[in-house]
Amino acid sequence: MAGFQSGDFYGASAFGRRLPGLGLAHINATIPEHEVREHSHEGAHFVLATRGRYISTAADCDDHEGPVLIYNPPDIVHRDRFAAGNEGRDWFFALSFDSDLWAEVTSDATLPTYARGLSDMAILRATMRLLRAAGGDATRLDLETLALELVAGAAQPHRLSNLYPSWLDGARSFIADHAFDDIGVADVAEAAGVHRVYLARQYRRWLGCSPGDDLRRRRVDRATHLMMTGKAPLSDIALAAGFCDQSHLNRVFATHWGMSPAQFQRLTR
């Protein structure tokens, strides 16, 4: 029986992002169905087929039409694969956790001990958001937050307080103070004194956005301010506001304001 390291799968990755303890990849399944043997993965992982007919022995997968997110706990033996007939044209998105990060994540999130299919619309939308972000230029904070929101959606529900958590103010202040740095969920959670899964769940519940959304808004605000108060070229403004480059600024700015930075500048010149 084959044993895979965390993040390793049958297939070739079209794109991937590697973060501390976390791997994301969109993978072309290159192995024919008859060559896929029983195997296991060292770390927990989630798989979403994006093209082709995926066959899984996970619970709650029978007779379901449409996408299903498959959750496999660490070291679960399975023979999940794509049905024959579409070789080389099947695709799936995979989210993988290293053992240490998974142990920390599941200290505040109870997940099944068996492989399970998840077809709830909210968790499928969360997975699609993560897939889109992983294939683009999303920040580390964005990707980590989306991954933890996905885990929280797959976990058994926790009773949540109806009182506004005071630690959220500290989390927001930390993001404001480090909006132009490469920060992750663990950094924000440590500053707020809470578990990272709890942070991801409560941040969106109370503030209507993720920590990554908050970070991105602050960067757009900085870029907008610099355009309003100076004459620096957009390439310099992008870097000063924490973006990778001008094209990154263009995409995020247009999504946020509904116009490009150049269009915004032309309004006042």
What tens digit of pLDDT does each residue of 120-163 get?
888 888 898 899 899 888 899 999 999 998 998 888 766 666 78
In tens digits, what is the pLDDT along the chain, a chain of 269 residues? 677 788 888 888 888 899 999 999 999 998 888 888 888 888 899 999 888 888 898 888 775 667 889 999 999 998 988 888 887 788 999 999 999 999 988 887 888 889 999 988 888 888 988 998 998 888 999 999 999 989 988 887 666 667 889 999 999 999 999 999 999 999 999 999 999 988 988 898 888 889 999 999 999 999 998 987 888 999 999 999 999 999 999 999 998 888 899 988 887 66
**Residue carrying the six token digits 């049958």:** 10
Residues constituting the chain: 269
- Tell me whether residue 175 is exposed, middle or buried, using C-beta atoms within 10 angstroms of its C-beta: 0 to 12, 13 to 18, 19 or more: buried
* Nearest CA-CA partner of 183 in 20, 72, 34: 20
DSSP string, 229-267: H----HHHHHHHTT-SSHHHHHHHHHHHHSS-HHHHHHT
* Nearest CA-CA partner of 105 in 223, 195, 237, 233: 195
- Which CA distances in Å does 216 have to 89, 102, 140, 194, 253? 35, 27, 11, 22, 9
Q: What is the pTM assigned to this prediction?
A: 0.77
Q: What is the CA radius of gyration of the chain?
A: 20
